[in-house]
Amino acid sequence: MKRILLVDDELPLLELLSHRLKSWGYEVLTAANGEEGLRVAETERPDLVLLDIRMPRMNGREMCARLRARRDSSQLPVIFLTALGMPEQIEEAFLAGPDDYIVKPFKSAELKERIQNCLMAKA
């Protein structure tokens, strides 16, 4: 079973997405900010990270950049899942090295397909 780390500071969204991912057959790990997410990624070794950008303590861009800088997580698939949808925001976010970028609100089918594509690409 593939493990997905879901990092978002919005608890209702974290719970909703966690339930949805479990219903698709994934094991779900959660974190409420980038610092916590980085610790979970280092200790639990997820297969993919779904990551919000705007969070307290450490934002998603910083977390992604730190994952990319580490040898053991440099190839870990990362998908930004964020409300930041302006072209310049997307361009800036891709500098951190994510594999994909989904703007909230999103359709469940799109999220499921993008997760599957990232997992297959890194297999």
The DSSP annotation for 84-118 comes to --SHHHHHHHHTT--SEEEESS--HHHHHHHHHHH
Percentage of the chain modeled with pLDDT above 70: 99
Predicted confidence at residue 122, as pLDDT, reads 77
Q: What is the pTM of this model?
A: 0.95
CATH number of 3-121: 3.40.50.2300
Residue range 39-53: mean pLDDT, rounded: 96
Span between the terminal Cα atoms of the chain, in Å? 13
Q: Using the 8-state DSSP alphabet, how is residue 32 labeled? A: S
Mean confidence (pLDDT) of the chain? 94
The residue extents of the domains of the chain are 3-121
Please check whether residue 73 is in contact with residue 122, taking contact to mean a CB–CB distance below 8 angstroms.
no
Q: Using the 8-state DSSP alphabet, how is residue 50 labeled? A: E
Residue range 72-94: mean pLDDT, rounded: 92
Residue range 5-30: mean pLDDT, rounded: 96
